[in-house]
Chains A and B, each alone.
Chain A
Amino acid sequence: MNIWIAIGVTALGCYALKLAGLLVPAGALERPLVRHLAALLPVALLAALTAQQTFSDGQSLVLDARAAGLAAAGVALVLRVPFLLVVGSAVVVTAGVRALGG
């Protein structure tokens, strides 16, 4: 039930954001400060989420096979391979390290 609430709230919120951009008259959100903030918020959120989902288990910090997987994804990104291969490399390396008992 909780999950349905979260899905509903997220769907409504994200749709409202998309619609707001189309309806709001240009200029209302065009101030430089607002635009800078809007560009930087995803950077902060994505960075925090990446770190948390790699180095945490519940509420504790851990270092396990996922770190190796993320490092592989990082190398793949530097090599500019397609998106799915980036994710694929992380998955394969994580599974590999785990299979080796890492």
Chain B
Amino acid sequence: MTSAGSGLTLLQTCALSLLVFTGASQFALVGALAAGGSPFTAAAGAFFLGARNAFYGLRLSQLLALPRAVRPFAAQWVIDETAAVSLAQPTRRGARIGFVVTGLSLYLLWNLTTLLGALGAEAIGDTDAWGLDAAGPAVFLALLAPMLRTGTERTVAGLAVLLGLGLLPVLPAGAPVLVAALAAPAVLWAQGRRSTSRGGAPEEDR
């Protein structure tokens, strides 16, 4: 629904959900395009957000022990939710069932709601008047909140906000988000310098 409000057609909105199928990346792509970013800077931001799926896959491939021929098909369903459900199962059988059930039901639901949302957005016209432009940031915030567990994550988030907003007026659209991503390696590097021992995260003083 947010994407239809950002100038994507119905077909483009549904294709995005079917082909990309990882929510944060979809919203990031749509947001960057709506802000006037080039297709490549927009895709780069979405790509970095999808990077965590590679790490889910890493743990899932050991757990599920999938045959090589099945892996290219299973890959599309490697997302936050399927990883969370599968990794929580005590047995391999349970993990496989969890992966398939979660993957299938989410894939159907996600794409169905995308279609309905896009149709709905076309029907109501001016999506801003309904406050729908606030849905994107609210989704991001909801995804972000559970990740902010320690001082390290909060420092990274704070630095990224400063970089993202501070550079917005001066850099071309789409670029400030990519620069803000550098907050992650920057904070890691600063921490590595400050403490050589790895017992507990040091208290942050910003």
* Residues of chain A having any CB pair with chain B under 8 Å: 2-7, 9-11, 13-15, 17-24, 26, 29-30, 33, 35-56, 58-61, 65-66, 69-70, 73-74, 77, 83, 86-87, 89-96, 98
Q: Is the CB of A98 within 8 A of B129?
A: yes
**Contact residues in B for A51 (Cβ distance below 8 Å):** 137, 160-161, 164-165
- Shortest B51–chain A CB gap in Å is 6
A70 CA to B139 CA in the complex, in Å? 10
Which DSSP category, helix, strand, loop or mixed, fits chain B's interface? Answer: helix
**Contact residues in A for B95 (Cβ distance below 8 Å):** none
A42 CA to B23 CA in the complex, in Å? 12
- Shortest B154–chain A CB gap in Å is 9
**Contact residues in B for A6 (Cβ distance below 8 Å):** 29, 33, 39-40, 42-43
**Contact residues in B for A98 (Cβ distance below 8 Å):** 128-129, 131
Q: Is the CB of B31 within 8 A of A41?
A: no
Q: Is the CB of B141 within 8 A of A61?
A: no
B100 within 8 A of A: no
With contacts A18-B75, A21-B60, A47-B156 taken as known, whether A7 is within 8 angstroms of B24 at the C-beta atoms is no
Q: Is the CB of B19 within 8 A of A26?
A: no
* Residues of chain B having any CB pair with chain A under 8 Å: 7-8, 12, 15-16, 19-22, 24-29, 31, 33, 35-36, 38-40, 42-43, 45-58, 60-62, 66, 71-72, 74-76, 78-79, 128-145, 147-148, 152-153, 156-161, 163-165, 168-169, 173, 176-177, 180-185, 187-188
With contacts A69-B134, A93-B131 taken as known, whether A40 is within 8 angstroms of B53 at the C-beta atoms is no
Contacts A45-B28, A46-B141, A52-B165 known; 9 new A-B pairs at CB < 8 A: A9-B39, A22-B75, A26-B61, A38-B55, A46-B140, A48-B161, A65-B131, A70-B138, A73-B141
